[in-house]
Structure 1
């Protein structure tokens, strides 16, 4: 317990050094007077949800990532489309997101306990942390006080790193959000509890350069793994889900790095981590263990990401329902 407390304290200090209170305007005790049980409520609901549907842990973590990369961590990914606007959730990169109903369930609990108080953006940040923790991963202090955005535009999802991205594209997209190369290689390991649709990587199996023959494969992908994936996916399959960390996709651990090191990273973006000396060294280092160090790194990078372009103070609003603006 003492070591965990010291670790959490060090994360708090690092956050203040990196961002400063004036800029971030987020606080650990933001709801101490207005909704002191907010984290307990979210944790209880997430525990019940994942006990029924453990495969939702990865999607909820992914949803937080997709939210923060478009207009910052403002809950805009949760807003429904209207007849006059196609929202983020209906853009191609987000059409495979899952977990919206689970978050609405938690929001209803929060509204009952603390009406008009807890933002959907904060709810998503806490739920993502708990999804990792309840999957036997690390925990971290979630700084709170985000406000909800009122705008959600499908075309703005072009800011999301696509599964086809190479290393240069990834570093540019992460850099645009003030996230480092280390954040990139660390946060990529969130795929350890994820699944992916065949359409996100099937070109690596069948039609890599457009030759349309069975030998036209991605040379960076392990051939035995290709054979296994072909039993699950056809070139035109857009519905089948494949584990990104086979055999361990419900447990948050370092096995993702073991797969990437063997040429078995499922997506182009996973394989691209071997294209840079720093990220390659990180992959191989953690493929051989050092889980405690990785857990500390992941916690720190999640805090970094959770601070991206947040709305605070009088900006935005506190949505009563996460899928519609007030």
Structure 2
């Protein structure tokens, strides 16, 4: 073995050791001894919020995704802007994010019983898990031990969060930059099986796709007509909501994928999953098997929850989720 080969092998072993150590630091039942009721308290707050706001599971799922894709799953999306810096939550991309109150309420209760123990990043991950279960998805365990970041920059949302206009190649590259595969991307896109979107996010697709002055030709004409009734082409209607998955907007199921088979994906980034034989086959595989999709979705959520996490002595445990200590 030459010097370069030995050097490469050593680097591989070191990187493997780092990954192993990271995996070991995120553990299911992380708060078993330090704050035994941590996950129970988060669940109670999610359930409480669901009583008055049926859309809260979708909000919390989206909050987790938007947190993990900018600086990793470190709670940076929760931080408020400061006089000298605009935070992620105040980015135009994130102006429709909700669910902060659920996280804050859980944090307040946790600080009362276990001060300085449970991170805001873990609360977001637990809340997303609870949201899946409450939406009839498959329950899964959340490895915890994340710590909170101290930096939140609006500018980073533009380079890290995939917009609804992305095509397949752009989506694949975006997810790959987070250590997620194309198959992970197809499965995590299934989160669009619940919740709604603002009309402003689909206006160009309905009325001026690629500056043609027409609707996206890949969109089913009958579905496009329904969307146009809900979203007339005026700016005052931009904040109206339209269901992501009309057949079952509050249930995590495979109807999202069946919509794609009939050209009824709400976003370009949804329908683009049918643009290659490989991803179209994955869509087909999930479209008629709820159990398979739900199992895959649970596994993908756990994997996404590990993206660029802070553990050990990195970051901090915030006393309040919206400000650093």
| TM-score over 0.5 for the pair | yes
Q: Secondary structure at the match of 2:197?
A: strand
Report the Cα distance in structure 1 between the residues aligned to 2:212 and 2:27, rounded to whole angstroms: 55
Q: Which residue of 2 aligns with 1:304?
A: 303
Deviates more, 1:27-36 or 1:172-181: 27-36
1:22-171 to 2 correspondence within 5 Å?
22-24=21-23, 25-158=25-158, 159-171=160-172
Q: Secondary structure at the match of 2:211?
A: coil
Give 5+ residue unaligned stretches, structure 1: 1-16
Q: Deviations over 1:156-177 (max 9, x none)?
A: 0021011110101100000000
Report the Cα distance in structure 2 between the residues aligned to 1:109 and 1:21, rounded to whole angstroms: 33
Q: Which residue of 2 aligns with 1:258?
A: 258
Q: Deviations over 1:146-198 (max 9, x none)?
A: 00000000000021011110101100000000000111000000011121011
| Mapped pair 1:268 → 2:281 | no
2:230 to 229, 232, 236: 232
2:79–2:321: 8 Å Cα contact kept in structure 1? yes
Deviates more, 1:19-28 or 1:57-66: 19-28
The alpha-carbon deviation at position 275 of structure 1 amounts to 1.1
- The CA RMSD measured in Å over matched residues stands at 1.5
Q: Secondary structure at the match of 1:139?
A: coil
Q: Which residue of 1 aligns with 2:216?
A: 218
Report the Cα distance in structure 1 between the residues aligned to 2:87 and 2:20, rounded to whole angstroms: 32
Report the Cα distance in structure 2 between the residues aligned to 1:180 and 1:90, rounded to whole angstroms: 29
Q: Which residue of 2 aligns with 1:197?
A: 198
Q: Which residue of 2 aligns with 1:179?
A: 180
Report the Cα distance in structure 1 between the residues aligned to 2:285 and 2:57, rounded to whole angstroms: 26
Q: Secondary structure at the match of 1:196?
A: strand
The alpha-carbon deviation at position 261 of structure 1 amounts to 1.2
Q: Which residue of 2 aligns with 1:323?
A: 322
Q: Secondary structure at the match of 1:205?
A: helix
The alpha-carbon deviation at position 45 of structure 1 amounts to 1.6
Report the Cα distance in structure 2 between the residues aligned to 1:293 and 1:209, rounded to whole angstroms: 36
Moved over 3 A (4+): none
Report the Cα distance in structure 2 between the residues aligned to 1:44 and 1:157, rounded to whole angstroms: 30
TM-score for both structures, normalised by structure 1: 0.91
The alpha-carbon deviation at position 55 of structure 1 amounts to 0.7
The alpha-carbon deviation at position 37 of structure 1 amounts to 1.2
Report the Cα distance in structure 1 between the residues aligned to 2:265 and 2:96, rounded to whole angstroms: 20
Provide the aligned length of Structure 1 versus Structure 2.
306
Give 5+ residue unaligned stretches, structure 2: 1-15
Deviates more, 1:71-80 or 1:233-242: 233-242
The alpha-carbon deviation at position 103 of structure 1 amounts to 1.2
Report the Cα distance in structure 2 between the residues aligned to 1:23 and 1:317, rounded to whole angstroms: 16
